[in-house]
Amino acid sequence: MEGLGREFVRELHSRSLFQQSSKDASRFVMHDLINDLAWWAAGEMCFRMDDTLEGENRQKFCQSLRHFSYICGESDGEKRLQSVCDVEHLRTFLPVNLSNYRINYLAWSVLQMLMNLPRLRVFSLHGYSNIIELPNEIENLKHLRFLNLSRTSIQILPESINSLYNLNTILLEDCYQLKKLCNDMGNLKKLRHLKSSNVDSLEEMPKGFGKLTCLLTLGTFVVGKDGGSGLRELKSLTHLQGTLQISKLENVKDVGDACEAQLNSKENLQALLLKWSTRDVQNLDQCEFETHVLSVLKPHQDVQELTITGYGGTKFPIWLGDSSFSKLARLELCRCTSTSLPSVGQLPFLMELDISGMDGVKSVGSEFYRRSCSVPFPSLETLSFSDMREWEEWIPCGAGQEVDEVFPKLRKLSLFNCHKLQGKLPKRLLLLETLVIKSCQQLLVTIQCLPALSELQIDGCERVVFSSPIDLSSLKSVHLAYVANEVVLAGLFEQGLPKLENLVIVEVREQAYLWQSETRLLQDIRSLNRLHISRCPRLLSLVTDEEHDQQQPESPYRLRFLELKIFIYDLENLQSLPAGLHNLRHLQKIWISKCPNLESFPEEGLPSAKLTELMIWRCENLKALPNSMSSLLRLGIIGCPSLESFPEDGFPTNLQSLEVRDLKITKPLLEWGLNRFTSLRNLSIGGGYPDLLSSPPFPASLTELWISDMPDLECLSSISENLTSLEFLYLIDCPKLKYFPEQGLPKSLSRLSIHNCPLIEKRCRKDEGKYWPMISHIPHFNASSDSS
C-alpha cells in the first residue's frame, strides 16, 4: 500500500466498494480506483482480456493464471482463446456478454479444449447461441462448482453432468430450446441453485428431483405427465426462496399430489407463478378439478408476487384476496376462464394488478372491490386490463362507495384491446400520472380531475372529451392516434400545456391545421423536445395562415428547446413546413417520410447550429434540399425522383452516415468524390447510377457499406485492403456484379451478405468458388438469390 500514495488512499477511503450506476439504477459499478487496486492485488493470478485485436493475437498466459475473463466477441475461435486453454491450473473461465441482443458464437474446437482443464471451478458459456450440446468430456471437470449455460441453445443436459458431485450452481436462464435435464439429477447433493427461468420447451422435471434437498433457488418446476416428477417432489424442497414457477399444472392428476407440495409452508418464496398450458377446458368436471387444485396450492402468507396463468377453474379460491396476504404487492391473472374477478380490493399492500385475456368476464363491479371493504385498493399504484374481449361494463366503485374512496393511490391506469367496453372510467384519480388506453373502440374517454397527469396515450377509441374547466398543466407526454372526433386536439391545446415535452399525433383524420397561429404554437410547445406527426390525410400545414403579425420583427419560432426531434410521416396533403424552422436553434433531428405534395423546404432554410440528422423518404415532388447543413452528421435521401439538384455548397464533409438511394441525380455525388468524406463510417448507395460499371473510391473510415440496386455494376474495384476499418459489407440486387478486387477484401470484414447477386454469389460458394479463399476468414457470410 505504501506505493499507492496518500492521495490515492484518501480517495479510496471516500469511496464505497460498489456504486450505483448513473445510467441504470438496477446496476452497480466499481470505481476506477477500487478496480485498479483489485488488479494490483491480484497480480498474475487474474486476467481480463480487452476486446482488442492486438491483445487477442499477442497475449500469452503464464501458468500461474487462475482466473480468466473476457468480453465475448461475435465469433470466438482458437485464434483468440487457444492460449488460455493451455493454462492447466485455470480455475475460472468467464466470458462477459455486454449485450442481451448480440449473437455470439464459440468454436466447437475451443469448447473441446476447455474440457481438458480439470481444475476449473467456474465455467460459463453464457450468451453463446451456437451451443446446442455439451461434450460428454465435461465429466472431466470434477472440481466444477459453477456452470452457466444461460442464453445458449442447449437442448439436453448430458448425463455426464451427474458425476460433477461438487456442483453448487447451474444457471439455465433464457435457454428457450432446453427440453430435458439429466435423468439422475438427484445425485447432485450439493446443488444449491438451479436457475431455470424462461425455459418454455422444458418437458418435465426428472424423476427423483425431490432428492435435491439443499436447493435454495429453483426457477421453474415442470410437472411431469407420465414418468416425470409430480408436485409432491416439492415437499422435500423446504429451503426454496426467491421466485418459483410451476408449469404444466394440467398434468396434475390427483389433488392430493398438489396438496403434498406444501406451498403454504415455504415462507421464503417471494414470488410464485402457477401456470397451466394454453388449452380449452370444456369439461365441467375438469373445471371443478382445477378449482380444487388451485385451492390447495395456497402459498405462504408472506408471498410478495403471485401470477396465475391459464387457470381453467370456474371460480377463484377464497384465499385469493384474503387480507392475511399482507405482503402481496403484485398480482397477475392471465388467460383464466373464470367469469368473474376475484375480490382483491381488500389486499392491504397490493401495488400492482395486471389482468389479461379473461374472456369470460363481461362486467367488473362490486365483487372486484369487495362490499365490506371501506377503502378498496388502498395501496394500488398500477392497474392494467388487456385483451378482455367480452368485457362490456366497468362499474368503477362498489355499492355504497364514495367516488374519491376508490384507488386513492393509483398512478398508472392502462386499458388494451377491450373492444366492447362501454362503461365509465373512475372520475377522481388525484394521483394518476399515466393514462394509456388503446384499441377500446366503443369507449368514451372523459378526461377530468386528473391534476397529476403526466403521460396521456389514447389510441383507437370512440371519442375523447376534455371536461371544462380542467387542469392539464402537468402533462409532459401526449400520444393521440386513431381518435374519431375532430375536437380532440382543440380541446387539448386550449388548456395550455406549459410542460409538454413529447407530442405524437397519428391518424387524426379531420385536422387541416394543428395550431391557429404561430403565437399559439409558441405558448403550447415551449418545452417540447419531440414532435411526431403521421397519417393525418387532411393536414395541410402545422400552423394556419390566420395570424401573421407583419409588425412583429422576430419570429415566435426562436425557441430555445433543450432538444427537438420532428418526425413527419404519411401526410398526403402536407404542402409546407413552418417558416420559422431555421430559428429552432436547438433542433437536432428532422425525419420526413411519405409527404408526396411537399415540394421544398422554407426559404429561410434549416437551423445550422445543432441539426445533426436529416432523413427524407419518398417525397416524390420534393425538388430542392435546403442549404447550410454544415452541422449534419447523418443524412438520408431515399426515393425522391423529382429532386433536381443537391445543395450548392454540397454535403458537409464531416458526415458520419450517408444514405443516398433511388434518385435521378447522382453524378454530383461522384464528382465530389466519396473519399472526401473523411469521417464517414456508414454509407448506403443504390438505385440510379446507370453508367456505373465499377465502384467509386470509398473513404478509408468506412465501417459499414451497403450497395444496392445497381443494375450495371460489374466490379467492386474500390473495396480493397485499404479499407482497414470496414466490418460489414452488404451487396443487394446487383445482377451483373462479378468481380472482387484482385488484391482481396479487407481483413477487417466480419460480415459479408449477398442477396440477389447471382454471379458473384456463385464465385463465393464454399470450397468450389473462385473467391472462397478470399472470404473464408469472414466469420459471418450468407448469400441468397431470388432466382435460386
* pLDDT digits 0-9 by tens, 321-339: 888 899 999 999 999 989 8
Mean of per-residue pLDDT scores for the chain: 82
- Evaluate whether 708 touches 683 at the Cβ level (below 8 Å): no
pLDDT digits (tens, 9 = 90+) for 259-272: 999 999 999 999 99
Residue 277: DSSP 8-state: P
- Work out the number of other CB atoms within 10 angstroms of the CB of residue 477: 17
CA pair distance 695, 498, nearest whole angstrom? 53
Q: What is the pLDDT of residues 277-318, one digit of tens each?
A: 876 666 788 888 999 999 999 999 999 999 999 999 888 999
What is the per-residue pLDDT across 534-583, written as a single tens digit (0 to 9) for each?
877 777 766 665 444 433 333 333 333 334 556 777 777 787 776 667 76
pLDDT at 231 over 70: yes
DSSP states along 36-100: HHHHHHHGGGEEEE-S-HHHHHH----TT--EEEEEPPSEE-HHHHHHHHT-TT--EEEEE---S
pLDDT given at position 701: 92
Q: What global pTM score does this model have?
A: 0.78
Each residue of 137-165: pLDDT tens digit?
999 999 999 999 999 999 999 999 999 99
Contact (Cβ atoms closer than 8 angstroms) between residue 185 and residue 160: no
User: What pLDDT score does 58 carry?
Assistant: 43
| pLDDT average, residue stretch 715-743 | 87
Tens-digit pLDDT profile for residues 674-689? 778 889 999 998 886 6
Burial class (CB in 10 A: 0-12, 13-18, 19+), 278: exposed
Q: Residue 123 pLDDT more than 70?
A: yes
Neighbours of 772 (CB within 10 A): 14
Q: E strands within 585-680? A: 587-593, 613-617, 634-638, 657-661
Do 221 and 205 form a contact (C-beta atoms < 8 A)?
yes
| Confidence grade of residue 5 (pLDDT, cut at 50, 70, 90) | low
Compute φ and ψ for 57, nearest 5 degrees: -80, -30
Q: Domain 1-198: give its CATH code.
A: 3.80.10.10
Task: Output the CA–CA distances (angstroms, integers) from residue 370 to 205, 336, 400, 439, in the order listed.
Answer: 39, 20, 11, 29
CB–CB of 96/72 below 8 Å? yes
pLDDT one-digit tens code per residue, 16-30: 667 777 777 767 777
The mean per-residue pLDDT over the stretch 60-70 comes to 81
Q: Domain ranges for the chain, please list them.
A: 1-198, 668-788
Q: Which pLDDT belongs to residue 559?
A: 34
- CA-closest candidate to residue 740, choices 725, 755, 721, 726: 721
Of 509, 447, 444, the C-alpha closest to 478 is 447
